[in-house]
Amino acid sequence: MIYNPMMETMPREQMRALQLERLQHTVRHCYENVPLYRSRMDERGLTPDDIRTLEDIRLLPFTVKNDLRDNYPYRLIAVPMRDIVRLHASSGTTGKSIVAGYTRSDLEMWAECVARLAVAAGARDTDIVQISFGYSLFTGAFGLHYGLEKIGATIVPISGGNTERQINIMRDFGVTALVATPSYAMYLAETAEKMGMMEDIHLRLGLFGAEGSTLEMRQELARRWGITVTENYGLTEIIGPGVAGECEAFCGQHFNEDFFLPEIINPETGEVLPEGETGELVITTLSKRGQPMLRYRTRDITSLSYAPCACGRTTVRMAQVKGRSDDMLIIRGVNVFPSQIESVLLDTRGIGPHYEIEVDRVHYLDRLTVKVELIDAGLLERFSELEALQKALHDRLRTVLNIDVQVRLVSPNTLKRFEGKARRVTDLRGK
Ligand code: DLL
């Protein structure tokens, strides 16, 4: 089922024409109402009339996270404050928050985006959906809430935390779909198993997002819950969730292209890369009024495909996010993405899906340590088996990452669990 067939199956040429019209409108809106955009365009001798084709977007300068921080809280808002009806923010791990302001029409557009991805993922008006993202300044809960309400699903707005209660509510309310981060969905599964309640819960669908997860993590979630696992992608700066989402054909996440125009660039040079190549995702909003974004550098590493999808949608698809260019670790000169480590761990029998990565420096040399939880505590007593497992993990990580990794196996239930986005990497270098 396709929520908005006209937009989601539009022929490419027609889509490009619509995008150009909206891009021209957005650039003019930015130029006339946001001093930062006007001054950057003036510096390059550009006016809105210079955007004559979609490719002319490349004339525009990039916008980066620091632009939002430097213009905190309202200086990128392009309409009078009385037209802003909602604010959200993301805290990030460092520095000032990123603020996002929405007009009423932005909120309607947002709900439309999420409705499309929810239907693409298989959600229906008969579903009872538990939203386990925190209802707060974070965009996740409100974003999914209004989109799912729009398709007529029954919403259970439980918010994050209080994990045992979440399980009781899932059982009592007959919840059929879960909205959460993959890491919280894993913690919920573990809790349901411990409470002996898996049999009493009838989930069929997971709508997961807000953080990266590997294929192995999603397979583990599908196995433990007995559900179809889908993921969706978005970011506060652009709108929140609703930028892209997976369909039932599972070949990438469909972009809401009539609202968000994606490009892939080489993060080092800023050069736009051809279809299929992997690089940093850059997004321009095409209809947002409150806080439009021109060529926003997401830092997320992915690729795009315009090939037709088995589901019938014609919208461009983005591949699973490989990582963020800013969470890539450089260990003794070698690039390491935490997702590579996760794939190896989840593919290894005997260890659970909980791990922590620590980087420090010993005698001027980087050292990478991975702490992993065992599934069976009894293994700690069986020294030779333990040693064999540790060696197998060590060797596999070395083959995949090309560097030496210290592996520490720890008892079950000793590492931190996460109710929102997981924070598994600690970098102690320079501290
Ligand atoms: O996480 C919006 C969101 C909420 C998306 C709920 C999906 C579901 P921020 O807090 O601003 O917004 O974080 C945005 O999270 O740049 C990515 O690095 C990461 N991210 C979000 N979704 C995915 C995903 C929300 N499906 C940042 N896969 C983004 C990988 C993701 N990374």
- The alpha carbon torsion through 263, 266, 269, 270 (nearest 10 deg) reads 10
CA distance linking residue 151 with residue 26, whole number of Å: 28
Q: What pLDDT, on a 0 to 100 scale, did the predictor assign at position 230? A: 98
Q: What pLDDT, on a 0 to 100 scale, did the predictor assign at position 96? A: 76
**Pairing mode, strands 240-246 and 228-235:** antiparallel
The predicted model scores a pTM of 0.93
Q: Give the bridge partners for 228, in sequence order.
A: 205
User: pLDDT by residue (tens digit) across 21-64?
Assistant: 999 999 999 999 999 999 999 999 999 999 999 999 999 999 99
Q: Is 211 in the pocket of ligand 1 (CB under 6 A)?
A: yes
Q: What pLDDT, on a 0 to 100 scale, did the predictor assign at position 92? A: 61
Give the mutation target among 211, 254, 320 for probing the ligand 1 site: most ligand atoms within 8 A of CB.
Answer: 211
The tens-digit pLDDT sequence of the chain (431 residues) is 999 999 999 999 999 999 999 999 999 999 999 999 999 999 999 999 999 999 999 999 999 999 999 999 999 999 999 999 999 999 765 567 899 999 999 999 999 999 999 999 999 999 999 999 999 999 999 999 999 999 999 999 999 999 999 999 999 999 999 999 999 999 999 999 999 999 999 999 999 999 999 999 999 999 999 999 999 999 999 999 999 999 999 999 999 999 999 999 999 999 999 999 999 999 999 999 999 999 999 999 999 999 999 999 999 999 999 888 888 899 988 989 999 999 999 999 999 899 999 999 998 889 999 999 999 999 989 999 999 999 999 999 999 999 999 999 999 999 999 999 999 999 999 76
- Do residues 145 and 197 lie in contact, with contact meaning Cβ atoms separated by under 8 Å? no
**Nearest residue to 215 via CA among 318, 319, 343, 341:** 343
Residue nearest to atom 28 of ligand 1 (CA): 212
Q: What is the DSSP letter of 272?
A: B
Q: Is 214 in the pocket of ligand 1 (CB under 6 A)?
A: no
- Do residues 100 and 240 lie in contact, with contact meaning Cβ atoms separated by under 8 Å? yes
Between the CA of 140 and the centroid of ligand 1 the distance, in Å, is 8
Query: Which atom of ligand 1 is least distant from the CA of 234?
Result: 5
- Do residues 282 and 298 lie in contact, with contact meaning Cβ atoms separated by under 8 Å? yes
Q: Is 300 in the pocket of ligand 1 (CB under 6 A)?
A: yes
Q: Give the bridge partners for 369, in sequence order.
A: 358, 406
CA distance linking residue 258 with residue 182, whole number of Å: 28
Q: Is 183 in the pocket of ligand 1 (CB under 6 A)?
A: no
DSSP string over 18-31: HHHHHHHHHHHHHH
Between the CA of 208 and the centroid of ligand 1 the distance, in Å, is 10
- Do residues 200 and 173 lie in contact, with contact meaning Cβ atoms separated by under 8 Å? no
CA distance linking residue 294 with residue 168, whole number of Å: 45
Q: Is 240 in the pocket of ligand 1 (CB under 6 A)?
A: yes
CA distance linking residue 129 with residue 147, whole number of Å: 11
Q: What pLDDT, on a 0 to 100 scale, did the predictor assign at position 325? A: 81
Q: Is 139 in the pocket of ligand 1 (CB under 6 A)?
A: yes
